[in-house]
Structure 1
Amino acid sequence: MTGKRKLLAAASSVALAVFATSADAAVLIQGTGFWGSNTSTTAVSRANQSFQFSFDLPDTITAAAGYAFTSAISNFSFSLNGVALSAVPSEIRFYSSANNGLFDMVLNGVNLRLFGADVGSNGTLGPSGGYNFTAAVNGNGATGLGVTTVTSLAAAVPEPAVWGLLILGFGMVAGRMRYRRRQPTQLRFA
């Protein structure tokens, strides 16, 4: 390998390490509950039936106008009485306890409101653990009770920048071990 190629390879490795995207941690939110006897029948609720949901969020959530925090949702699932539904969330908003706490989900046009705990009042999701909540569908006062757990999931692999630096460091060590300083030829007489 010529000197220019070595320089190009080293520069490419450094650029890859510097400009690689990070492997962010995610926050997993899971909830289980039971709809009360007065709950209206909608796409996501039925009286006297259990419900379950889960979704992932980035580690930090961004503040929207006013008091709500909105964020992208991924890996969403919702089941009613053990049957998975194809409910598609169009938004989720987190609120502080001053605004009745927890969050709203809009699923297939149905507003599912969970309130009674403070998750995300400062722009980041609260500590891992369980939260009791009350649920209402479309604000009609029908309630369900349940527990929501918030779990922070760390990235399973090192960030790409770390990998780039590790490879660059090992490459430099290996190159140094292979390199031999050339000695000028000396003529000696005995």
Structure 2
Amino acid sequence: MANITAWSFTLSNPGGTVTLDNSNSNFTFLSGTSFQATATDIVFDYSVAGHMQWDNFGLGGNNALCFDAVGGSFTCIGNPPAETVLVNGVFSNGPRSGRFVLGNAVAVPEPATWAMMIGGFAMAGMAARRRTRTSVTFA
């Protein structure tokens, strides 16, 4: 697994739209085991205790993204625990269930895999080219 080197969230609700990214945001809270990374996904699992919050209140309004597990005691930006998007002071709450996928990565083949695939195509092409052709003549 590789480290995450860049990320961004575009937050939208009736109050406006703002983009939080790795250059302009603060990762202010993280606790519990609800925030998980696998080989292909970054997820927030609502069935596990924990919370997290990204924010930047200096972008011309109140701008934050917050997740809290069901039954969590932490309050995301003054609201009852919930998945909360706060843009320019307006709240939008989402459902708290299942696994919310924050990001995923598409598998990229290793260089050795590419070499084997290209070599296989080359060998199949050579085999097709070397095959002797028979001609049929009718009397």
TM-score by length of 2: 0.42
Greater RCO (CA < 8 Å, at least 6 residues apart): 1
